């Protein structure tokens, strides 16, 4: 069923919808200097991420969010599951901008999808943060991998 959903990708990126804030890289709550969250407590047990979705989202928005989760289900072992009694979960809510908390934070942690943020690409992006990943281009060790090219030698 989800595979037949037409995705309205608005062609925008999460950082294009941000309020002026102290968010890291435009859409992460400040936390630590690691690219991925290596803290075992921040990982989701059994690769299962309980979630709830605010009733303020339209049926179409919910389809887009579901299609983003379906991508994870198709390509990874990660499973987003509707919250039952789990203590830790992701609360997908409307708000200002689009951003997320990196990794499992404990309790109900918000994942914000504001105006212009409900596209499959953006939801996949923010869910990746909730799983514990930062932006690859902001890795603390990025300078180790920059290759210096001497342009004079190449002319
Ligand atoms: Zn991001």
What's the CA-to-centroid distance between 82 and ligand 1, angstroms? Answer: 23
**Residue-level pLDDT at 28:** 74
126 as an active site residue: the answer is: yes
pLDDT digits (tens, 9 = 90+) for 63-92: 999 999 999 999 999 999 999 999 999 999
Contact 120, 72 (CB under 8 A): no
CA–CA separation, 136 vs 32, rounded Å? 14
Across the chain, the runs of DSSP E, i.e. the strands, are 48-53, 79-82, 89-93, 98-100, 108-113
129 in a known ligand binding site: yes
What's the CA-to-centroid distance between 116 and ligand 1, angstroms? Answer: 15
Give Cα separations from 119 to 26, 105, 113 (angstroms). 17, 24, 9
Please give the average pLDDT of every successive group of 10 residues along the chain, which has 155 residues: 38 57 70 64 94 97 98 97 98 95 95 96 96 82 70 63
What's the CA-to-centroid distance between 17 and ligand 1, angstroms? Answer: 11
């Amino acid at each position: 069923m989800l595979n037949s959903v037409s995705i309205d990708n608005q062609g925008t990126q999460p950082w294009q919808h941000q309020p002026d804030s102290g968010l890291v890289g435009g859409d992460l709550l400040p936390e630590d200097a690691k690219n991925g969250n290596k803290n075992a407590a921040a990982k989701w047990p059994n690769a299962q991420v309980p979630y709830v979705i605010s009733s303020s989202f339209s049926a179409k928005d919910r389809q887009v969010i579901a299609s983003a989760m379906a991508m994870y289900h198709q390509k990874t072992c990660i499973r987003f599951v509707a919250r039952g009694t789990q203590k830790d979960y992701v609360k997908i809510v409307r708000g200002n901008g689009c951003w997320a908390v990196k990794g499992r934070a404990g309790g109900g942690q918000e994942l914000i999808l504001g105006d212009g943020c409900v596209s499959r690409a953006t939801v996949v992006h923010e869910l990746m943060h909730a799983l514990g990943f930062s932006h690859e281009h902001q890795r603390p060790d990025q300078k180790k991998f920059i290759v210096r090219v001497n342009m004079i030698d190449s002319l």
